[in-house]
């Protein structure tokens, strides 16, 4: 009697030929996917750029009321326009302590201070330098008048002398050398802009 043929059992392995199919990647959680999408869509975080300093909008005119101020002097004591009310004074703005032009101008005011005192006119120098630097500058050159510290450029802006400047192709913000004569009533009697140091103090005295 012939033996009964049995069908071979199906192999547990897949009969698919060719390269093995790659297993599917595990799906990322929805929250993680959303975070990645948001990060890709938004620009790279950057450190905020410093806000550029703005130039003064306009200069004060002769005959107009002098801007009010309250600033520390070279000793740290506050000097204000209110404390000078009823007295004439001279404000001269300069860029920086202990630089050639500013030193020459300060020494010219120092050497002619008696003539200003004779006119009962107080001389006040103003720059963005801090009180400590002002004090060193005064001591180094024997300056005998007050220097005001306008570190925030508030007074320079109020007078319209904080401006954009150019030097050797470089653009930057700085003080435009200027002088203002304020009379007893608190008005600007005379203004000198873009001052050239040589002969300037003599011109101021001549105007008195």
Supply the pLDDT for residue 59.
Answer: 82
Domain ranges across the chain = 70-207
Helices 100-111 and 200-207 cross at an angle (nearest 10°) of 40
Q: Which candidate in 56, 79, 102, 124 is catalytic?
A: 102
Query: Binning pLDDT at 50, 70 and 90, where does residue 167 land?
Result: confident
- Its pTM stands at 0.72
Query: Binning pLDDT at 50, 70 and 90, where does residue 16 land?
Result: very low
Render pLDDT for 98-122 as a digit per residue (tens, 0 to 9). Answer: 999 999 999 999 999 999 999 999 9
Query: Binning pLDDT at 50, 70 and 90, where does residue 12 land?
Result: very low
> 70-207: which CATH architecture?
3-Layer(aba) Sandwich (3.40)
66 by Cβ neighbours in 10 Å (0-12 / 13-18 / 19+) ranks as buried
- Name the helix (H) or strand (E) containing 173: strand 170-175
Supply the pLDDT for residue 57.
Answer: 60
Render pLDDT for 29-71 as a digit per residue (tens, 0 to 9). Answer: 554 554 454 444 444 444 433 334 555 567 899 999 999 999 9
102 given a catalytic annotation: yes
Q: Quick one: residue 12, left, alpha or beta (phi over 0 = left, psi -120 to 50 = alpha)?
A: alpha
Nearest to 147 by CA among 197, 194, 96: 96
For residue 123 the two structure tokens come to 């001389």
Where do the H-state alpha helices sit in the chain? 30-41, 100-111, 113-118, 131-141, 154-159, 200-207
Report how far apart the first and last C-alpha atoms of the chain are (Å, whole number).
Answer: 146
């Amino acid at each position: 009697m012939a033996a009964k043929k049995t069908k071979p059992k199906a192999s547990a392995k897949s009969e698919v030929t060719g390269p093995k199919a790659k297993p599917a990647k595990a799906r990322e959680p929805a929250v993680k996917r959303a975070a990645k999408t948001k990060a890709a869509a938004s620009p790279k975080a950057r450190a905020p750029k410093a806000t550029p300093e703005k130039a003064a909008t306009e200069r004060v005119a002769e005959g107009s009321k002098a801007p009010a101020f309250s600033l520390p002097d070279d000793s740290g004591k506050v000097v204000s326009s209110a404390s000078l009310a009823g007295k004439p004074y001279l404000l001269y703005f300069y860029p920086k302590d202990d630089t050639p032009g500013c030193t020459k101008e300060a020494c010219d005011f120092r050497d002619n201070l008696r003539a200003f005192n004779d006119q009962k006119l107080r001389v006040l120098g103003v720059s963005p330098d801090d009180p400590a630097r002002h004090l060193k500058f005064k001591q180094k050159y024997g300056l005998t008048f007050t220097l005001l510290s306008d570190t925030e450029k508030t007074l320079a802006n109020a007078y319209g002398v904080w401006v954009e400047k150019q030097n050797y192709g470089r653009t930057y913000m700085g003080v435009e050398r200027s002088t203002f004569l304020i009379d007893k009533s608190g008005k600007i009697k005379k203004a000198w802009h873009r001052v050239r140091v040589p002969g300037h103090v003599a011109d101021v005295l001549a105007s008195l």
